[in-house]
Structure 1
Amino acid sequence: MDKSVLRFSHCNKDIFCFFVPEECPECGISFSGRRLEEAPVSIPNPFSNGHKSPCSFLVAPTDENKLSRDFDGGSDLHTGISTSKGVVFNYTKTGVCRDHQGWERCLSIPLVQPDMYNLIDQWDQYLDKFSTAQMWDTVWKSFNEETHNCYNYTLMFINCVSATQGKRALSKDEFTKSFVLPRIKRASKYSTLCREISQNHFYIVDSPLKESGETDGDGKT
């Protein structure tokens, strides 16, 4: 379970930590009876439990990289689609798997709005029917790392559902650039923060907002 990352400002520095210390790690001044330049802000955790993220597109490290659980741009990633009950369908070398566990820490992109009741009701049926199609039968067509993989499977399903809603299909580049890359970058930055804090207790950087004289209260990094 990831700890919550906090950010506060002092000495024209942005200081990231798991808890606010009694004194500033930069200048040593005690915070007792003093006000911080900015109140501590919680940095949103980008990771989700895929089994508690219904009707979503999920991204997680491959089995070979699950020990590192990293989104550093160098690790191979695996994708899946969750049912309305949190079972994760994903395409592998052995065909379509239906995972009830193993996706507890992943990136989640919701694909259905909460008020789309008709689609939610049919979601599992769509996914099951799509997954039993001949093209996902390894006897008929083998898994290929480049041309017939987990990403092809998930994106093709998304486009099939979009077609039933009268929406146009998205290319792999479009979907990746608009939805996947921003979340991977956020996750990579968050993982770096956690790693630095775990090793050094704090992660301290110059505050660009203080230098420019601007203010920002949204807590984004």
Structure 2
Amino acid sequence: MCENFEIICFKHCGDRSIFCREVPRSCPACAKVLADFSQPPFQLPNPFSNGRDKIMSIIIKPSSGIFLDVSYRHTHDLHIGIVDSNRRIFEYDQRGFVFNDFTKWSHCISFDRLVPESWSEYWDKILIDLARNPQWTDSRYDPVEFNCFDFVLEFMKKLGCKDFFYESKEHVCKDLILPKMKEALRYLGIYNRLRSANIYIR
């Protein structure tokens, strides 16, 4: 079950960061009334977004559920899709090619600004041509050998942008996904501590 809330961070009486869902009246570290701060409260940037909001992007989510589910673990499999310049979502899974299943992508990690905006028309053309290819059927899908990552790799290959090209699934994971996943997991660590506590000090 997902409980969506914002995370606020501030510092008051030392170098330790204080995370909360709502700024308290007194400092949880020194118990003094919060009249001033060594670092004023700010909202922690949320690494998750609605896939529809990120045009010309690659998006990832857990294969089942969303990152904010209490049951999510970093060892769970990921699912990857592509968004065009018109906010349409293209993906491939055990159902075959899937178009605009917006319900699954409301809390995902997006990778945008991958190519110049001037590529938008070409990005869309390559994506539509790829989606029309009859190879993306449910009968050909295999969770290891022929899956969503193959769909995205094929898109990259046909797009032909030298600054946005990965040779293998491992290359995509290591160079594109992993750095942003590390940030997301740090956020999730704090988020999960605040599910059952008002304050987390680190």
For 2:108, the equivalent position in structure 1 comes to: 106
* Alignment partner, residue 117 of structure 2: 116
Question: What is the identity percentage for the equivalent residue pairs of Structure 1 and Structure 2?
Answer: 26
**Residue 60 of structure 2 contacts residue 79 of structure 2 at CA under 8 Å; is this kept in 1?**
yes
Describe the SS at the equivalent of 1:89. strand
2:171 is equivalent to residue 174 of structure 1: yes
What are the within-5 Å matches in structure 2 for residues 41-60 of structure 1?
A: 41-60=42-61
> How many residues are aligned here?
196
The structure-2 alpha-carbon separation of the partners of 1:100 and 1:184, relative to structure 1 and needing over 3 Å to count, comes to: same
Structure 2 residues without counterparts, runs of 5 or longer: none
Query: In the alignment, which residue of structure 2 is the partner of 1:134?
Result: 134
Whole-Å separation in 1 of the counterparts to 2:162 and 2:177: 23
Give deviations 1:175-201, integer Å, cap 9, x for gaps.
Answer: 222220111121122122122112111
Give the CA deviation at 1:156: 2.0
Matched, 1:20 2:23: yes
How far apart are 1:138 and its partner, in Å?
4.0
Partner residue of 1:146 out of 138, 144, 147: 144
Structure 1 letter corresponding to 2:11 = S
| TM-score of the superposed pair, with normalisation by structure 2 | 0.85
Q: Per-residue deviation at 1:89?
A: 0.6
Deviation at 1:79, TM superposition (A): 0.7
Which whole-Å CA distance do the structure 1 matches of 2:164 and 2:41 have between them?
43
* Secondary structure of the corresponding residue to residue 84 of structure 1: coil
Q: CA deviation at 1:167?
A: 5.3
Give every structure 1 segment of 4 or more consecutive aligned residues whose post-TM-superposition deviation is greater than 6 Å.
none
* Residue ranges of structure 1 left out of the alignment (5+ in a row): 206-221
Give me the TM-score of the superposition, normalised by structure 1. 0.79
**What is the correspondence of 1:1-221 to structure 2 with a 5 Å cutoff?**
2-12=4-14, 13-31=16-34, 34-62=35-63, 64-66=64-66, 68=69, 72-102=73-103, 103-113=105-115, 116-117=117-118, 119-139=119-139, 142-161=140-159, 163=160, 165=161, 169-171=165-167, 172-205=169-202
Contact 1:58 1:108 in 2 (8 A): yes
What is the RMSD of the two structures over their aligned residues, measured on CA atoms?
2.3
Q: Give the greater-gyration-radius structure (CA).
A: 1
Say if 1:86 and 1:100, in contact at 8 Å, map to a contact too. Answer: no
Instruction: Tell me, in whole angstroms, the C-alpha distance in 2 between the residues paired with 1:174 and 1:10.
Output: 42
Q: Check 1:84–1:69 CA distance in 2 against 1; reply closer, same or farther (3 A cut).
A: farther
Q: How far apart are residue 26 of structure 1 and its match? A: 1.9
